[in-house]
Chains A and B, each alone.
Chain A
Amino acid sequence: MGGKLRSLRRSPDNRVLGGVCGAISRETGIDAMWVRIGFVLLAIASGIMVFVYAMAWLLIPMEGDSGNIYSRAISDRRGIRTIAAILLPLLIAVQFITSSLHVPFIGFLGWPTFLAVGVIVLIWRNAGDSEKAFIDEDVMPLLGTDRHGKGRRWLIARVVLGVLVGAAGIAVLVEGHTTVAALGPLGGAVLVIAAAVVIFGPWWLSLVRDLIAERQARALAEERAQMAAHVHDSVLQTLALIQRSSDDPQQVVQLARAQERELRAWLFEGRPPGAIGEDATMLAEGVGLLQRQVEADHGIAVQVVMVGDCPLDDSLRAVLDAAREATVNAAKWSGADQVSVYAEVETDTVMVYVRDRGRGFDPDDVPDDRQGITQSIEARVARFGGSAVVRSAPGEGAEVQLSMPRRERVR
């Protein structure tokens, strides 16, 4: 337990005031929001909790700081003396007034609250730089010590008005306590709340506004970091590769093309670079995958045109495999620098054409090794009831036409 207490650290990110609840939540695993609600309820029930909070703020070191604020505050003799000189008479006066008015519950809240205020002033005087900045920006406007000085008159007016309304409310509350006016306590409570709104409203509003702005800024920064990471992983790496292989134009073109496809897939199709799924579920995806793989493996440009789209089934996967075979053949044998793949989804058939403008061949007179490939293309689609036609002539390039009847028709 002691070790656990010693390992408590206040977090600069997860805090409303001093970050004490955030620290407790991190150590216990309870959501910080619940810890905060608990603290507030206990503080209302008993003023001691305010004091406990202030002491925890004083004693638990901020994350990243070497020591706690207490170790610095203890040497702040002047601060302690001044606080004691101001707070002790005030405390005595309040105790005296409340006991003479027969409202001991206010007095009961009184002494821990005063102690807490003293501790918080000590904290403010001795906090680290980052915490000081936080207090200055978010907490000091509450006390009216706005560094810019503007709005001070408005603040004074607010405080005077608030104190008047609040005093009236307390008076009515106290009256309602002794005499028995049915609506008295209610009216008093309303006045006290009104006082709180008048005094704290603008501060609270500005706090909420700052919080929203801060959250937006953080989201933006995260997005930027993510984008930077993506660009680094893809574009910058490729640029580095291109510089290194600048004496190999073929390689440069290949790299640039692959990068362009990837960047495009990321920017316009929402696919993260480097995370292209191996199994496509739609025909267009499958054709895009074929394009990227053949381009990457064989250094040939694959121009894809898609008309329509449909989900992939086994027969269409066979067509894709055959089309890949045909594209790789073109890359290996045709000598052309580009292959066109055209896929069209019609009502009852899917057609895929793979065409190159390379040296071409006579389909009736192909070497044995290519015969086998042609067979494999044809056999693949034939198994599912499709057909493959190879059209070519020497010097005229080649075109493989694949067609497959659709099992699942569009309704």
Chain B
Amino acid sequence: MTDGAQAPVHRPASGGRPRIFLVEDHAVFRAGVRAELGDAVEMVGEADEAAAAVELISERLPDVVLLDVHLPGGGGLAVLRGVLPHHPEVQFLALSVSDAPEDVIDVIRAGARGYITKTISGPELLQAVYRVAAGDAVFSPRLAGFVLDAFAQGGAPAPGLDPELDQLSPREREVLRLIARGYTYKEVGRDLGISAKTVESHVSSVLRKLQLSTRHELTRWATDRRLV
């Protein structure tokens, strides 16, 4: 996440420019994102509230939707729930003012492939967009820390938990710990002696668990806010 400034930005393997749709109610911020992404992507549309976003995304089917978490008309969640059931191939990357887990965890659980904070730099944003376009997950150190916290091993696994979904493998734990320490995927790979691609697959598998697990630490965020 933080290597954008130094490391070269990797284009998706498929080549070509990813098609981007921007959902964001802040006009100034929209203009900023447009300027930062520039010609590296193809902007196929914008929306500033949930209902219009669902309609336009379903019509234009972009590769990646940049989705503001706090959006008028039901928030980013409403967009995810309006689009994903019909068009699961559309990838969502959430935007949030903060990286506090309570702000982003329910968008992730509703299907976003990752999230970035609005203070992200241009190259980092582009890197995140490419990564999500390629089907990978974007984890910030803070989210990695939250997942480690939520999947903490408190002695014996609680009954009723699915070990496949509700527990992290030791390797996934190592990967997350390094990400939480601020390592890039490449650095994680080097530290653990595995390829960056393997790191990405570990992270994607963690994302899947994050989305599907019923651990109460995860569902708590949603029920606290009466979203479920």
Contacts and interface: CB of A to CB of B under 8 A. Distances in A.
A353 B100 contact: no
A344 B141 CA distance: 13
A284 to B, nearest CB: 11
Most chain B CB within a 10 A radius of its CB, from A264, A338, A340, A342: A342
B144 interface: yes
A83 interface: no
A264 B98 CA distance: 9
Contacts of B144: 305
Interface string B42-61: 00000000000000000000
B66 to A, nearest CB: 22
B145 interface: yes
Interface string B142-183: 101100110010000000000000000000000001001111
B164 to A, nearest CB: 23
B2 interface: yes
B70 to A, nearest CB: 13
Interface in B93-148: 98, 100, 102, 141-142, 144-145, 148
Contact of A357 (B2, B102, B148, B177): B2
A308 B217 CA distance: 13
Nearest to A339: B182
Contacts of B145: 305-307, 342
A177 B54 CA distance: 83
Interface residues of A, number: 15
A380 interface: no
A342 B142 CA distance: 9
A338 B100 CA distance: 18
Interface in A122-169: none
Contact of B181 (A268, A308, A338, A342): A342
A268 B182 contact: no
A324 interface: no
B148 A340 contact: no
B142 A305 contact: yes
B96 to A, nearest CB: 13
B148 A307 contact: yes
A340 B145 CA distance: 12
A338 B2 contact: yes
B181 A355 contact: yes
Contacts of B152: 307-308
B182 A308 contact: no
A303 interface: yes
Given A342-B141, A355-B182, A307 B149 contact: yes
A149 B2 CA distance: 72
B141 A305 contact: yes
A79 to B, nearest CB: 60
B181 A353 contact: yes
A308 B149 contact: yes
Contacts of A355: 181-183
B100 A305 contact: no
B182 A344 contact: no
A303 B148 contact: no
A338 B181 CA distance: 12
A303 B145 CA distance: 12
Interface in A284-331: 303, 305-308
B180 to A, nearest CB: 5
B40 to A, nearest CB: 23
Interface string A349-362: 00001010100000
B181 A340 contact: yes
Contacts of B102: 268
Nearest to B6: A357
A307 B180 contact: yes
B149 A342 contact: no
Nearest to B102: A268
Nearest to B142: A305
Interface in A196-221: none
Contacts of A303: 141-142, 182
Nearest to B100: A268
Interface in B1-57: 2-3, 6
Contacts of A264: 98, 100
Nearest to A305: B145
A218 B144 CA distance: 45
Contacts of B142: 303, 305
Nearest to B176: A307
Contacts of B3: 357
Nearest to B149: A307
A305 B180 contact: yes
A355 B191 CA distance: 14
A287 to B, nearest CB: 11
Question: 7 closest pairs, A vs B, by CB?
Answer: A340-B182, A305-B145, A342-B181, A307-B148, A305-B180, A353-B181, A305-B141
Given A307-B145, A342-B145, A344-B177, 8 more contacts: A268-B102, A305-B142, A305-B145, A305-B181, A307-B148, A307-B152, A308-B149, A344-B180
5 contacts: A264-B98, A268-B102, A305-B144, A307-B148, A355-B181
Interface of B: 2-3, 6, 98, 100, 102, 141-142, 144-145, 148-149, 152, 177, 180-183
